[in-house]
Amino acid sequence: MRANSNLLWYHHRPVELPHLYRLSSESDPEDEPRRHSWSDRQTSGREDLPYRVELWDEAKQSVEVVLAVTANGSIGYAAYYAATREYPQRYVTLRHKSRTMARWNGPEH
């Protein structure tokens, strides 16, 4: 007897899970046809990752490197906070699309 792998027991009641993933090779004959793929998304990469942590050049004229991109504001802020600790002398910004949410100017000399 095979147990239904889509059920999770929660407070002594079974709850059906909407999606389960199984890792295997592409040539596995037991695989079901793919229902969705990452390339099927209709949104552009910029729209689904709107938060950016940017490290600016020393003259504060242009972005030297984008340190992180994320869809989640909390994760973006955590990355921004880490960047301010990693580069304390540099100008670091957290942006949501075109809006600056936070900036670290670093100490002036």
> pLDDT tens for residues 72-82?
999 999 999 99
Residue 56 within any structural domain of the chain: yes
CB 88 within 8 A of CB 47: no
Domain tally for the chain?
1
CA-nearest of 65, 70, 77, 67 to 51 is: 70
Residue 8 within any structural domain of the chain: no
The more confidently predicted of residues 92 and 10 is 92
Pairing mode, if any, of strands 51-56 and 13-16? unpaired
CB 31 within 8 A of CB 24: yes
CA dist 71 and 2 (Å) reads 39
Predicted model pTM: 0.57
Domain of 68 in residue numbering reads as: 46-104
Residue 75 within any structural domain of the chain: yes
3-class DSSP assignment, residue 79: helix
Look-up of token digits 């095979």: 2
